[in-house]
Chains A and B, each alone.
Chain A
Amino acid sequence: MSSTSHTSTHHTSTIGSIGAPSRRNTELGLLVFAVVIPVFAYANVGLALDDEVPAGLLSYGLGLGLLAGLGHLAVRKFAPYADPLLLPLATLLNGLGLVVIWRLDQSKRLQARAEYFEAAPRQLLYSAMGITLLVVVLLLLKDHRVLQRYTYISMAGALFLLILPLVPGLGANVYGAKIWIKIPGLGTLQPGEFAKIALAVFFAGYLMVKRDALALASRRFMGLYLPRGRDLGPILVVWVMSILILVFETDLGTSLLFFGMFVIMLYVATERTSWIVFGLLMSAVGAVGVASFEPHIQTRVQAWLDPMREFTLSREGVRDGIIHSEQAMEALWAFGSGGTLGTGLGQGNSDLIGFAANSDFILATFGEELGLAGVMAILLIYGLIVERGIRTALAARDPFGKLLAVGLSGAFALQVFVVAGGVMGLIPLTGMTLPFLAYGGSSVLANWALIGILLRISDTARRPAPAPAPNPDAEMTQVVRPS
């Protein structure tokens, strides 16, 4: 079942095996691309907008290179066996996001708006803070299993973060969704982004302890293993929590994200398909139930079903107590106008989306200016990050690490799906941002921390073990090559 000893003469290799190359030079090589591509994109925007290479090109290139180099050195020093793809992929997305945010900063239409400010310098600052946070995570978190100790503190922290936007005077209602808090002088914060990580830690710690009870003590009914009533407790608690988020913060995305993450982790922990069935049923009941009386959710669903109607209502300035928005339709037009190859960076009109063009809707700018080709590439990069995360989970030797890695990767995947799907009109729009691409400090910081944790777990997983793993639960993936 598992192989803990390995010699090079065997035709059996094991992921996470002893003596695996560290792949740090691969990472460095990839990082060069991850820095050079955004630098070219930046030059491209400048040439398209002003017919000249932007003045900040050198400092931007150096800055991004410096940040990437810092990340790389930290990984080399503190997590030498970490996955070599995660850092370059995240850097590439972060760099491209910065370029497009800068490009939208130059838009006359957005500059004319009341809420306009230059977002790119701030985003650069957030990126620097994010990579610093990554370094700090790698530096302080020598072993991810330490997090296990903070299982219940994480839960308390997550709940605290989730409740914050509801505190009067602190919460900010932005276009109907209440998932932001305002910190005077500093701007807004999306605590949900951080809650995502805290909840993953809590679920991983909790499920690791409870998984046997949840998995084994069940009755078989109609081919499904039904859990005992008392084991249903935690799933109900999380369900109620996501319903409450939906009701009070009126955000379908966040709610879906947390509940989905929990179901994924529960399924991995117990290996019981019945949990997925339960999860889907409960989220369906919850979503439909809340949507039946919450006007904000209804508007979002209507805008999804008929974005043109919503556009017309908004244009005509219909005041019926519901905020009608042109944005959903504007985003679809942006995608359609981009076509296969796009208009080229700096040459589209995605700024017609107006509010949140550089955050929630940033994918539409990629769609218009880089076209189908560009968006597919972006989606595949996200896919790669997720699959590298799950590969880390596969390779991890301890159940806590497996659960945490799959929880974070799953949440990342769900977030990408919910946001990109919302902007592209596949599902109703929600108020979340695309990791790394979108403007927003919370999102950038939290996602760099997330990458940091994944790097740590993968480092632990791939590090040559001095002794056989003590945990009997650790499974290894075997790849048997015919000799």
Chain B
Amino acid sequence: MNKPLRRIALFCGLLILALLIRNNYLQYVKADDLADDDENRRVNIARYSTPRGDIIVEGKAITGSVESESGDYKYKRTWTNGPMWAPVTGYSSQAFGANQLEKLEDGILTGNDDRLFFRNTLDMLTGKQKEGGSVVTTLSAAAQKAAYEGLGDKKGAVAAIDPSTGKILALVSTPSYDPSKFAGTSNKDAEAWNAVQKKNNPDDPMLNRALREVYPPGSTFKVVTAAAALENGEVSGIDDATKTPDPYQLPETTGKPLTNQHGECKNASLKYALMVSCNTVFAKLADNVGNEKMIEQAEKFGFNNPELDTPVRAAQSVYPEDNRPQNAMDGIGQASNRATPLQMAMVAAAVANDGKLMKPYMVDQLKAPNLDTIETNDPEELSQAVSAETAQKLQQMMEAVVNDPQGTGSSARIDGATVGGKTGTAQHGLNNSEKPYAWFISYAKLSDGSSPVAVAVVVEDGAANRDDISGGGLAGPIARDVMKAVIDSKK
């Protein structure tokens, strides 16, 4: 009987061997995949086991961490003025995950980032509790506040950037949500979460309109069309008369011709046309430039970029390939081109920065728990959107929009600074039946010629008034307050 016994011994050995191999597969080969699986609760338990690092604005934390009452998670995230800052920070919830900076910089905030590994190991040896690092943003508290208060109860968004560096100064979206309300795991948190979901709330407060929503840019796009016309030699001088009929029959169409809201737009100069926002002039110019060159110019300003990361990825602003009548209407921002508020702020910023478009970013530095700098983001040039010469001409025209008595943007004037801007009223919906979006894009220049801020404001459901003025009337004062806040905080 001993021969089969030896074989059984071998067989039992193989059973144990199979277990050992499986065990190695599970705990060595697949260990990291399993340990870091999003559904694995340990990931969240570890995330909230130590006080989370903070997100910093101008040296002050806009986030915090409190001891949590729920069993599994030791700490809970808090925000100071959550609704105002939510479009910047995003949320970090024990039950519902995280997004935006809270998610993208989670490694630094929890202290699990590889760059903190050595420090963590030292802390472990000395018995110190693990701490999270901090994320220092580029934002301006004053600008953010001005934008948030300016929008008030209205639905809309504001994006402000520093033209010379691309630093994002304000990023506001309303209606907003308070991430503190659902940071935990209780039933109350679940209710608060459900209340702000799009399916339960048509206003969609969780949508970050400044970055993640695209709007028809309306007349503010005329700045881009003007740039394309100047760059492509369709217009030589901004004061020269253009050959434009009024009304203007769109190419290849027989329907109702395009008209203007106000002003004497027949053969108007480029400067005058921008000042009073002539539709006919810019539609014709867009047609003269042609779809291909229009796309080229729009892309130089940042359109059609699917991966614009701030580091939170912005929705893609588009200027599509279109037929002639559509392309002409794209020239006045009323066809199939779309832009995020951030994108239109980039247009204003590039003009203010002598044609140079800087990459917008909102994380200045990542810091270790002991405040050592781990990473610094430097300004980065995206493209030369227009030549310096063209930029100067665009500035002259945009400043006329604000300063000329006939201009549509007088509401954005600031004492002691030169403001250039452009209003817009984007009609949308079937047969333009919906309430229009009021737009305003602008920049401010100081007496030394430097430009500290460019801003884009959009107010949804602005007014029943389809007048171009509504852009200046509703959105203009908000833009002015944001720019003023930045200028004042520089003093």
List B residues 1-57 near A (Cβ within 8 Å): 1-9, 11-13, 15-16, 18-20, 22-24, 26-28, 30-35, 37, 39-42, 45
Q: Which of chain A's residues have a CB closer than 8 A to the CB of B42?
A: 333, 337, 349, 352
Q: Mark A311-342, 1 if CB is under 8 A from B, else 0.
A: 10000000000000000010011011111100
Partner of B41, one of A349, A371, A475: A349
Q: Which of chain A's residues have a CB closer than 8 A to the CB of B8?
A: 264, 267-268, 390, 406, 410
CB distance from B41 to the nearest CB of A (A): 6
Given A383-B13, A390-B12, A311 and B39 contact (CB-CB distance below 8 Å): yes
Q: Is the CB of B1 within 8 A of A402?
A: yes
Q: Is the CB of B27 within 8 A of A372?
A: yes
Q: Is the CB of A402 within 8 A of B28?
A: no
Q: Is the CB of B16 within 8 A of A382?
A: yes
Instruction: Pick the interface stretch among A95-103, A126-134, A166-174, A414-422.
Output: A414-422
Q: Is the CB of A336 within 8 A of B35?
A: yes
Q: Is the CB of A387 within 8 A of B9?
A: yes
List B residues 370-417 near A (Cβ within 8 Å): none
Q: Does B71 contact A (CB under 8 A)?
A: yes
CB distance from A305 to the nearest CB of B (A): 15
Per the bound structure, the CA–CA distance linking A462 and B37 in Å amounts to 53
Per the bound structure, the CA–CA distance linking A391 and B12 in Å amounts to 12
Q: Is the CB of B23 within 8 A of A333?
A: no
CB distance from B1 to the nearest CB of A (A): 5
CB distance from A271 to the nearest CB of B (A): 5
Q: Which of chain A's residues have a CB closer than 8 A to the CB of B41?
A: 333, 349, 352
Given A308-B39, A383-B13, A477 and B23 contact (CB-CB distance below 8 Å): no
Q: Which of chain B's residues have a CB closer than 8 A to the CB of A379?
A: 16, 19-20, 23
Given A393-B5, A402-B5, A335 and B26 contact (CB-CB distance below 8 Å): yes
Given A336-B34, A352-B41, A410 and B12 contact (CB-CB distance below 8 Å): yes
Q: Is the CB of A394 within 8 A of B15?
A: no
CB distance from B128 to the nearest CB of A (A): 16
Q: Which of chain A's residues have a CB closer than 8 A to the CB of B40?
A: 333, 336-337
CB distance from B361 to the nearest CB of A (A): 35
Per the bound structure, the CA–CA distance linking A367 and B13 in Å amounts to 21
Given A372-B27, A406-B5, A417 and B34 contact (CB-CB distance below 8 Å): no
Q: Is the CB of A424 within 8 A of B35?
A: no
* Interface residue SS majority, chain A: helix
CB distance from B70 to the nearest CB of A (A): 11
Given A394-B5, A406-B5, A424-B22, A380 and B71 contact (CB-CB distance below 8 Å): no
Given A349-B42, A379-B19, A383-B13, A424 and B5 contact (CB-CB distance below 8 Å): no
CB distance from B121 to the nearest CB of A (A): 14
Q: Does A473 contact B (CB under 8 A)?
A: yes
Per the bound structure, the CA–CA distance linking A269 and B12 in Å amounts to 17
Q: Does A163 contact B (CB under 8 A)?
A: no
Per the bound structure, the CA–CA distance linking A380 and B17 in Å amounts to 9
The CB with the most chain A CB atoms within 10 A, among B2, B3, B24, is that of B2
Partner of B34, one of A109, A332, A409: A332
Q: Is the CB of B26 within 8 A of A339?
A: no
List A residues 118-138 near B (Cβ within 8 Å): none
CB distance from B28 to the nearest CB of A (A): 6
Q: Is the CB of A367 within 8 A of B37?
A: no
Given A264-B8, A349-B41, A336 and B30 contact (CB-CB distance below 8 Å): yes
Q: Which of chain A's residues have a CB closer than 8 A to the CB of B27?
A: 335-336, 338-340, 367, 371-372, 375
Closest to A383 in B: B16
Q: Is the CB of B71 within 8 A of A473?
A: no
Per the bound structure, the CA–CA distance linking A426 and B14 in Å amounts to 14
Q: Is the CB of A426 within 8 A of B18?
A: yes
Q: Which of chain A's residues have a CB closer than 8 A to the CB of B1?
A: 268-269, 271, 399, 402-403, 473, 475
The CB with the most chain A CB atoms within 10 A, among B5, B16, B20, B45, is that of B5
CB distance from A338 to the nearest CB of B (A): 6
Q: Is the CB of A376 within 8 A of B20?
A: yes
Q: Is the CB of B16 within 8 A of A380?
A: yes
Range class of the A interface residue count:
35 or more
Q: Which of chain A's residues have a CB closer than 8 A to the CB of B5?
A: 268, 390, 393-394, 402, 406
Q: Which of chain A's residues have a CB closer than 8 A to the CB of B9?
A: 387, 390-391, 394
Q: Which of chain B's residues have a CB closer than 8 A to the CB of A479?
A: none
Per the bound structure, the CA–CA distance linking A367 and B22 in Å amounts to 12
Per the bound structure, the CA–CA distance linking A252 and B26 in Å amounts to 23
Q: Does A449 contact B (CB under 8 A)?
A: no
Q: Does A108 contact B (CB under 8 A)?
A: yes
Q: Does A413 contact B (CB under 8 A)?
A: yes
Partner of A268, one of B4, B16, B31: B4
Per the bound structure, the CA–CA distance linking A409 and B72 in Å amounts to 42
Q: Does A112 contact B (CB under 8 A)?
A: yes
Q: Does A425 contact B (CB under 8 A)?
A: yes
Q: Is the CB of A426 within 8 A of B19?
A: yes
Q: Is the CB of A339 within 8 A of B31?
A: yes
Q: Is the CB of B19 within 8 A of A421?
A: yes
Per the bound structure, the CA–CA distance linking A335 and B40 in Å amounts to 11
Partner of A375, one of B7, B12, B23: B23
Q: Which of chain A's residues have a CB closer than 8 A to the CB of B71?
A: 108-109, 112
CB distance from B96 to the nearest CB of A (A): 14
Q: Is the CB of A386 within 8 A of B34?
A: no
Per the bound structure, the CA–CA distance linking A403 and B1 in Å amounts to 9
Q: Is the CB of A387 within 8 A of B13?
A: yes
Q: Mark A405-438, 1 if CB is under 8 A from B, else 0.
A: 0100110011011001100111000000000000
Per the bound structure, the CA–CA distance linking A372 and B45 in Å amounts to 22
Q: Is the CB of A376 within 8 A of B34?
A: no
CB distance from B32 to the nearest CB of A (A): 8
Q: Is the CB of A416 within 8 A of B35?
A: no
Q: Is the CB of A417 within 8 A of B2?
A: no
Closest to A211 in B: B1
CB distance from A334 to the nearest CB of B (A): 9
Per the bound structure, the CA–CA distance linking A184 and B18 in Å amounts to 40
CB distance from B44 to the nearest CB of A (A): 10
Q: Which of chain A's residues have a CB closer than 8 A to the CB of B2?
A: 394, 475, 477
Q: Is the CB of A426 within 8 A of B22?
A: yes
CB distance from A295 to the nearest CB of B (A): 25
Partner of B19, one of A271, A339, A416: A416
Q: Is the CB of B30 within 8 A of A413?
A: no
Q: Which of chain B's residues have a CB closer than 8 A to the CB of A329?
A: 39
Q: Is the CB of B31 within 8 A of A413?
A: no
Q: Is the CB of B12 within 8 A of A336?
A: no
Q: Which of chain B's residues have a CB closer than 8 A to the CB of A403?
A: 1
Q: Which of chain A's residues have a CB closer than 8 A to the CB of B19?
A: 379, 416-417, 420-421, 424, 426
Q: Is the CB of A372 within 8 A of B22?
A: no
Partner of A414, one of B15, B30, B72: B15
The CB with the most chain B CB atoms within 10 A, among A336, A339, A387, is that of A336
Q: Which of chain A's residues have a CB closer than 8 A to the CB of B23?
A: 335, 367, 372, 375-376, 379, 424
Q: Mark B403-447, 1 if CB is under 8 A from A, else 0.
A: 000000000000000000000000000000000000000000000
Closest to A272 in B: B4
Given A333-B42, A375-B27, A413 and B20 contact (CB-CB distance below 8 Å): no
Per the bound structure, the CA–CA distance linking A406 and B30 in Å amounts to 35
Closest to A336 in B: B34
Closest to A391 in B: B9
CB distance from A446 to the nearest CB of B (A): 19
Per the bound structure, the CA–CA distance linking A410 and B16 in Å amounts to 12
CB distance from A324 to the nearest CB of B (A): 15
Q: Is the CB of B16 within 8 A of A413?
A: yes
Closest to B21 in A: A426
Per the bound structure, the CA–CA distance linking A159 and B30 in Å amounts to 43
16 A-B pairs within 8 Å (CB atoms) are namely A267-B7, A269-B1, A333-B42, A336-B27, A336-B34, A336-B35, A337-B42, A340-B31, A352-B42, A371-B27, A372-B23, A372-B31, A375-B23, A390-B12, A394-B5, A402-B5
Closest 8 CB pairs of A and B: A336-B34, A372-B27, A383-B16, A413-B12, A417-B15, A426-B22, A390-B9, A333-B40
Interface contacts beyond A338-B27, A417-B19, A421-B22: sample of 5 additional A-B pairs, CB < 8 Å, sorted by A:
A264-B8, A308-B39, A336-B37, A339-B28, A390-B12
